[in-house]
């Protein structure tokens, strides 16, 4: 078997302390002023697998305090065509959970999943490996069940994974990984290797991502210096000394600290890299200031660099005013793109007072509904997606308005934009919205017909088939506006 030219040894880890993030003043500010961002940080609550585990164990997303994930490509991986777990790749993840967990129920769910995907023999093999000692429980996940998650063509089998559970009254822990790593973690031993950047980055960080890089990576042709671009050539040469790269985020009382840390082979390499980075940053700041003038973002001017020993740092403090500035820029762009005057084609508002575009709605059960079949009723189309915070907030409100005004004379179609049926059904169950009539628009074909450029977008069509109004975005008085509009149509 030929070796892969793209594989190199590396160490990668990711750590996040959710509990400390939630307690920080900056996160609370985000939660209050920009709920869509905080909602995106809690996407676990709509995951189908997590919902099943939650039902069995009582575990809620807010109970997850910290997550640690690390993977290591071991020396020699560059010599094989297809790496195998345990021999060429080491893997470990842990989760710290507030309160106690129901280990037997969690393992029962795992066994059910193994049997469903890999058969009764794999389930029996896993069940036989279960060991319980006091508050600690371990069970092996057979390599036979890993074929889909870690496909390979090698004759060498993947190593079995191990699930380890440590139950406590105040804090519990879940571990998954190669057997030795899980047993070491459950014994209280710190997993190695510890990267230099993890020691150098801000101590008060809550999110860390770091990677150790094989020096052989920099010998690849794509990293060769280009003599025709002196700055890039200098960067290319400086990169050859890089051994580790780290990113961190520190949620503080009134700011968010963002940091990049690069560990080099020696202080001379670090100084050379810092010189190139500082020069590039200075040129970028000057260019942006000249082009943007008064609109030059203040956050860019506050980016600082530092060379200290073998490390190079790039840091910036994100302030509440930066979020306001960013939001204002998005709003300005949205006004130019989505709220153009009604007489300009392709603006959503250009549809108002005109006959609705002829459409056919494909529902989740693959049935279809067309506009002619809806004549005589007020039709409300609400374009949404589960990842869109304002949509998640507005959809139940639109639903309540329609329910209140009567299902016989007013019908609502929640038109999902671009998501799979599994994603949609998981969201509906999580939010207890299974009763909704949902339009399935995976290619956004219906959205394009109604000039949807930003969601949520709510379209009200009158009894004769004309577009009465279009609302883009979420507003606090959406219920009041929709109720007034629909009542006017029903009274005619």
The helix, strand and coil proportions of the chain, stated in percent and rounded to the nearest 5, come to 40, 25, 30
> Which residue has 């009539």 as its token pair?
437
The residue-averaged pLDDT of 152-181 equals 84
Q: Which two tokens stand for residue 127?
A: 């069940």
> Are 396 and 431 contacting, i.e. CB atoms less than 8 angstroms apart?
yes
Secondary structure (3-state) at 71: strand
Secondary structure (3-state) at 453: coil
CA separation for the pair 398, 378 (Å, rounded): 13
Band of pLDDT at residue 338, cut at 50, 70 and 90:
very low
Average pLDDT over the chain reads 81
pLDDT one-digit tens code per residue, 178-209: 898 899 899 887 766 678 998 999 999 999 99
* 413 has a pLDDT exceeding 90: yes
Which residues lie across from 314 on neighbouring strands? 260, 305
CA separation for the pair 234, 26 (Å, rounded): 38
**Which residues, 6 or more positions from 251, have their beta carbon under 8 angstroms from its beta carbon?**
20, 21, 24, 26, 27, 206
> Which residue has 């036979």 as its token pair?
144
Q: How far is CA 30 from the centre of its chain?
A: 17
Q: Which two tokens stand for residue 259?
A: 């940091």
The closest of 452, 454, 451, 426 to 438, measured between CA atoms, is: 426
pLDDT one-digit tens code per residue, 34-88: 655 555 555 555 555 555 556 655 667 778 889 898 888 777 776 776 777 777 7
| pLDDT top residue among 232 and 360 | 360
> Are 325 and 318 contacting, i.e. CB atoms less than 8 angstroms apart?
no
Sign of CA dihedral 483, 486, 491, 492: positive
* 386 has a pLDDT exceeding 80: yes
Query: What is the total residue count of the chain?
Result: 492
Class of 351-490 per CATH?
Answer: alpha beta
The closest of 310, 439, 416 to 365, measured between CA atoms, is: 439
| Domain ranges for the chain | 42-193, 351-490
> Are 389 and 40 contacting, i.e. CB atoms less than 8 angstroms apart?
yes
The closest of 137, 119, 14, 26 to 69, measured between CA atoms, is: 14
- Helices 389-405 and 478-490 cross at an angle (nearest 10°) of 30
pLDDT one-digit tens code per residue, 202-259: 999 999 999 988 887 777 666 665 555 454 555 667 788 899 999 999 999 999 999 9
């Amino acid at each position: 078997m030929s070796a892969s030219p793209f594989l190199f040894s590396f160490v990668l880890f990711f750590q996040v302390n959710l509990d400390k993030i939630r307690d920080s003043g900056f996160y609370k500010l985000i939660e209050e002023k920009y709920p869509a961002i905080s909602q995106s940080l809690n996407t676990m609550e709509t995951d189908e697998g997590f919902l099943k585990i939650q039902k069995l164990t009582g575990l809620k997303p807010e109970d997850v305090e910290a997550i640690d994930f690390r993977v290591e490509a071991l020396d020699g991986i560059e010599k094989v065509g297809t790496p195998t777990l345990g021999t060429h790749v080491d893997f470990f993840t842990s989760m710290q959970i507030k309160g106690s967990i129901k280990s037997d129920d969690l393992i029962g769910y795992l066994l059910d999943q193994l049997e469903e995907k890999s058969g009764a023999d794999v389930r029996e093999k896993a069940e036989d490996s279960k060991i319980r000692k006091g508050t600690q429980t371990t069970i092996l996940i057979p390599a036979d069940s890993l074929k889909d998650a870690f496909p390979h063509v090698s004759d060498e089998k993947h190593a079995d994974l191990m699930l380890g559970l440590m139950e406590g009254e105040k804090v519990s822990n879940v571990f998954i990984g190669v057997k030795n790593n899980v047993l070491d973690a459950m014994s209280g031993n710190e997993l190695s290797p510890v990267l230099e950047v993890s020691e150098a980055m801000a101590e008060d960080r809550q999110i860390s991502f770091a990677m150790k890089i094989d020096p052989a990576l920099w010998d690849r042709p794509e990293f060769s210096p280009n003599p025709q671009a002196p700055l890039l050539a200098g960067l290319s040469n400086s990169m050859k000394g890089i051994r580790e790269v780290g990113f961190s985020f520190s949620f503080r009382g009134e700011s968010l600290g963002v940091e990049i840390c690069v560990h080099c082979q020696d202080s001379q390499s670090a100084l050379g890299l810092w010189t190139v980075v500082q020069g590039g940053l200075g040129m970028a700041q000057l260019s942006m200031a000249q082009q943007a003038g008064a609109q030059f973002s203040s956050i860019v001017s506050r980016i600082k660099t530092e060379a200290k020993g073998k490390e190079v740092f790039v840091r910036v403090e994100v302030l509440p005013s930066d979020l306001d500035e960013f939001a204002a820029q998005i709003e300005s762009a949205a006004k130019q793109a989505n709220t153009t005057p009604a007489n300009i084609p392709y603006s959503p508002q250009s549809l108002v007072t005109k006959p609705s575009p002829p459409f056919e709605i494909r529902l989740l059960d693959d049935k279809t509904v067309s506009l002619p079949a809806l004549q005589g009723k007020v039709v409300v189309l609400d374009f949404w997606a589960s990842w869109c915070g304002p949509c998640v907030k507005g959809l139940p409100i639109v639903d309540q308005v329609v329910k209140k005004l009567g299902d016989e004379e007013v019908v609502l179609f929640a038109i999902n934009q671009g998501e799979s049926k599994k994603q949609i059904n998981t969201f509906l169950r999580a939010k207890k919205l299974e009763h909704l009539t949902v339009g399935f628009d995976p290619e956004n074909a219906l959205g394009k017909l109604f000039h949807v450029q930003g969601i949520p977008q709510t379209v009200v069509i009158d009894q004769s088939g004309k577009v009465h109004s279009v609302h883009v975005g979420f507003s606090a008085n959406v219920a009041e506006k929709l109720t007034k509009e629909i009542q006017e149509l029903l009274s005619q």
